[in-house]
Amino acid sequence: MSLIVDGRFLTAKATGLHRVARGFVSAAKDAGVELEVWTPGACDDPLADRAIRLPAGRVGGRLWEQVVLPAAARGRTIWSLTNTAPLARPGVVVIHDLAASIGPAWFAGSMHLYARSVLATARRAVRVITVSGAVRAELVARGVAPDRITVVAPAVDEKFVPAPADEVDRVRRSLGLSGDFAVMVGWADPRKDVATALAAHARAAAEHPHALVLIGSGHPTFAPVSMPTGNDIMVTGHSSDADLIALLTGAKVLLYPSRYEGFGLPPLEAMACGTPAIASDIAALRESTAGSTRLVAPGDVTAWADALLDGLRGKLRPPTRPQRTWRSVGQELADALPGGSDARRLR
């Protein structure tokens, strides 16, 4: 019997977490896992297989996930990919991070309940898939049985390759970038710590003039972050994949001063585009970057400025394309999902 995928995330505003969820579903499908993706109401996403009617109202999405989806599933196993699942009968759940539990200050007050529900889901789930050993350790420390947790790290999307020179020129022209520039992704998320990036930029700019491009936009669940201002700061808002890849290719370095991550894809995406990254020295990023990037203590403005200067002067270690592929992710998912290996054998 095929797994039912909780496809509620396909109807929400896309975030990095949703991108990984989509990657997981596609990879599992490609690996031969039998899946049916159910979504709340009509959805024209190519991944969606079946629409189940959504209750009206602001809490409709949550009500759908908690009541409508499990009722319609009639006992079949549900695979939930974005931290939450039907609490009464959680099947397999992917926990990307415990940010809302670990740093409630980074989120709107309404996320306190969400933080508790993520942990409750993880404790009750038949199987928990998480993206790094760091999150696995956090889950175990919070009472999730270790034998029910499987780590499956995501991979960088294959479209992250160095952009052609004319694409880079196009984004340079559109932003008015003439000289060297550094990039930060996700600045409007408080846990990404744009303040440290700005301070490092200001210091480094005194010795090596450059611009800092801040990519990303706010989200209703984030605590507010002040709009950055200052010399040579460019805030792009949400970027298309093409713009993002061109910016990552054209940048001298990616800054990723995040205080907390479940995995941390942007440094790997930058390296896939041929640009070195500087990342925070925190457990998840140590693990995901595996020695391929410069790690700097979070919040240490002086050390970040020094590393940024090295990046601008081309003194960082040349980037290497991450070796992990979505194909291997799919194979690991097939082994982790109930019935997944059987499905693969039967294929």
Partner 1 sequence: MKLALYHPWIYVTGGIERTLLNIASRSRHDWTLYTHHYDSAGTFPGLRDARIVVLEPQVSVRRALPALAQAAWRIGRTQLPLRDEEALLVSSEGLGDFVVAKNDLPTVCYCHTPLKILHDPVTRQALRSRSFRKYAALRFLAPGFNAVDRRMWKRYRYVLANSQETAHRIERAGLPAKEIEVLHPGVDLDQFTLHPTLPRERFFLVAGRIMWEKRIELAIQALRVARQNGTDASLVIAGGVDSKSRPYLETLRQHAAGLPVEFLIHPSDEELAALYARCMAVVFTAPNEDWGIVPLEAMASGAPVVAVDAGGPRESVIHNVTGWLLPPTPWAFAEQMKIIADDGPNGRLISRRATRRRAQQFAADAFVQRLDDVMEDVVLNGAVARPILPVAHLPVPGLQIARSAADESGA
Q: Which residues bind partner 1 (CB under 8 A)?
A: 103, 105-106, 190-191, 193, 195-196, 198-199, 202-203, 206, 226, 229-231, 259, 297-302, 305
At what angle are helices 16-30 and 326-336 packed, to 10 degrees?
Answer: 80
Measured in degrees and rounded to the nearest 5, phi and psi for residue 195 equal: -60, -40
State the residue for tokens 């930060």: 184
Q: What is the DSSP string of 31-43?
A: TT--EEEEEES--
Q: State which residue, 175 or 301, has the beta carbon closest to partner 1.
A: 301
Q: Which residue, 174 or 302, is less far from partner 1 as judged by CB?
A: 302
Smallest gap from residue 309 Cβ to partner 1 (A): 12
With the CA atoms of 20, 51, 112 and 225 taken in that order, what torsion angle do they form, in degrees rounded to the nearest 10? 60
Residue 298 C-beta: closest distance to partner 1, Å: 7
Comparing CB distances to partner 1, the nearer of 81 and 308 is 308
Q: Please state the closest distance from residue 82 (CB atom) to partner 1, in A.
A: 24
Please report how close the Cβ of residue 279 comes to partner 1 at its closest, in angstroms. 16
Backbone angles phi, psi at 332, to 5 degrees: -70, -35
Q: How far is the CB of 114 from partner 1 (least distance, A)?
A: 17
The nearest distance, CB 262 to partner 1, in angstroms, is: 17
Would you mind telling me the total number of residues written for the chain in this entry?
A: 347
Q: State which residue, 28 or 198, has the beta carbon closest to partner 1.
A: 198
Report the residue number, 60 or 104, with the smaller CB distance to partner 1: 104
Q: Which two tokens stand for residue 299?
A: 């919040």
Between 97 and 332, name the residue whose CB sits nearer to partner 1. 97
CB of 226 to partner 1, least distance (A): 8
- Which is nearer to partner 1, 164 or 230 (by Cβ)? 230
Contacts 24+ apart (CB under 8 A), 200-205: 200/255, 200/257, 200/301, 200/304, 200/305, 200/307, 200/308, 201/230, 201/232, 201/233, 201/255, 201/305, 201/308, 202/230, 202/231, 203/301, 203/302, 203/305, 204/305, 204/308, 204/309, 204/312, 205/231, 205/232
Per the CB < 8 A criterion, the answer to whether 303 and 325 are in contact is no
